[in-house]
Amino acid sequence: MNMTLKYGLNPHQHPAKLVLPDPSPLKILNGQPGYINLLDAFGAYQLARELKAATGVPGAASFKHTSPAGAAIAKPLTETYLTSQFLNKKDLSPVATAYLRARGGDRMSSFGDVAAVSDIVDVPLANVLRRETSDLLIAPGYEPKALEILKAKKQGGYLILQIDPDYEPPPVERRMLYGFQMEQPRNDTAITQDLFTHIVSADKKLPEDARDTLIVATIALKYTQSNSICVAYDGQVTGMGAGQQSRIHCTRLACDKADKWFLQQHPKTLDLAFKKTLKRLEKTNIVDQYILWDQLSEPEEAQMMSGLDNTPARITQGDRLAWLAQFDGICLSSDAYIPFRDNIDRAQRSNVQYIAQTGGSARDGEVTKAGDEYGIVMVHTGLRLFVH
């Protein structure tokens, strides 16, 4: 059973098709997907589904270019969070909050995302997606009114996929590359709390909420292009460093993104007075520039100021450190072992307090000692999660 795709990885790679099992667990309810759409959709749905299986609450993922920009489980949204994300307080369902948290982890990277949720799409989630720049949604089902709302998105061109929640793929994966076919068992290892019992640090205390956040971060890594590092807080990815050739670059990228996520909620950021004509995307860009003010060129600074009605106070380095220091439970997970202590030094600057990594490096002792110097709880999972 074949489905014609819009095109392959690039428009000149045409024709392209999807070969479906019979009967098919996948339904295209609206639009015509392309090759990349499906790569992101299948990765994102597996991530959202596994978050639900591990935690018992709705999970969501926001995917771009075969890696999650964000992922989260459902939790209530605080007033500060809503304000920092330019959101109005509404009657939000659990599945809607899961997606808003996933998208809000890196709202710039989530622009034009593939969205996935573990639960049936309801009207509150459909109304959220109606105003977001998103290319596709995949879910196990849709309420009729929610589907009607989504079909009107993008002048009727929004991609809507439905997948059977009971579908399980074959145990063996096959991949064709340069004319060669490779096979391997599918990575169906479940990420559960049992994976986080081998604590190697001097501090052996791993609170339940920190463990659950490490579970979220580690599941996200399972569907992220390697090398990868994930920083998470309160059941939500706040910084993903993906696809880098060295682990320290992953760590820097993930921690820099996480720092920005926290600083979006700093009082000085919330005091920015935007010109009334600005759209939400323009406000988002200005906030990103404001947080990185010291790194801006003169033209970039002028562009930022042109969107503001006030002259804001800078967030100093002291402000940054003091603000990050007040958050308890910041977690970091690595898809393989951490080879050098420089990763720990960078993580500590972002107030990371809990780290999960594979272990098995020749420098495990040195890395663990670095964590002990900062009072970081370190867990060895023994599980590598490379994605290529």
**Tens digit of each residue's pLDDT (9 = 90 or more) over 253-309:** 999 999 999 999 999 999 999 999 999 999 999 999 999 999 999 999 999 999 999
| pTM recorded for the entire structure | 0.96
Amino acid at 69: A
List the domains of the chain with CATH numbers: 2-163 (3.40.140.20), 189-263+322-380 (3.40.140.20), 274-311 (no CATH)
Which of helix, strand or coil describes residue 192?
coil
Q: Nearest 5°: phi and psi at 148?
A: -60, -45
Q: Dig out the tokens for 27 from the structure.
A: 């339904």
pLDDT of residue 31: 95
- Mean pLDDT over each residue of the chain, to the nearest integer: 96
Which residue among 204, 205, 276, 388 is the active-site one? 388
At residue 206, the pLDDT reads 98
Question: What confidence score (pLDDT) does residue 1 get?
Answer: 78
User: How far is the C-alpha of 287 from the C-alpha of 28, rounded, in Å?
Assistant: 37
Cα torsion 366, 368, 370, 372: sign: negative
**Continuous segment of H or E residues that includes residue 320:** helix 317-325
Looking at residue 222, its pLDDT comes to 98
What pLDDT shows up at residue 239?
98
Does residue 198 have an active-site annotation?
no
- Catalytic status, residue 145: no
Active-site residue identified among 30, 227, 343, 351: 227
For β-strands 159-163 and 134-139, DSSP reports them as parallel
Determine which one of 52, 64, 257, 260 is catalytic.
64
Neighbours of 21 (CB within 10 A): 11
Residues in the chain predicted with pLDDT less than 70, given as ranges, are: none
Query: 333 is written with which tokens?
Result: 């997970």
H/E run at residue 341: none
Q: CB burial class (10 A; 0-12, 13-18, 19+) of residue 154?
A: middle
CA atoms in the 13 A half-sphere facing the CB of 121: 31
Contacts of residue 175, Cβ cutoff 8 Å, sequence gap at least 6? 181, 182, 183
pLDDT at position 129: 96
Does the annotation mark 153 as catalytic?
no
| Predicted pLDDT at 322 | 96
Q: Taking the CA of residue 367 as centre, how many other CA atoms within 13 Å lie in the half-sphere pointing to its CB?
A: 24
CA 386 to CA 44: how far, in whole Å?
A: 16
In this predicted structure, what is the pLDDT of residue 332? Answer: 98
Query: Which residue among 14, 17, 27, 65 is the active-site one?
Result: 65
Alpha-carbon distance of 267 to 270, in angstroms, equals 5
- R_g of the chain computed on alpha carbons: 21
Write down the pLDDT at residue 90: 77
At 307-352, the pLDDT tens digits run 999 899 999 999 999 999 999 999 999 999 999 999 999 999 999 9
Length of the chain: 388
Residue 64 is among the residues annotated as catalytic for this protein: yes
Distance CA(197)–CA(293), nearest Å, equals: 42
Strand 377-380 to strand 354-357: parallel, antiparallel, or no bridges (unpaired)? Answer: parallel
* Helix (H/G/I), strand (E/B), else coil: 31: coil
Amino acid identity, position 44: A
Looking at residue 2, its pLDDT comes to 86
**pLDDT value, residue 89:** 74
Q: Which pLDDT belongs to residue 62? A: 98
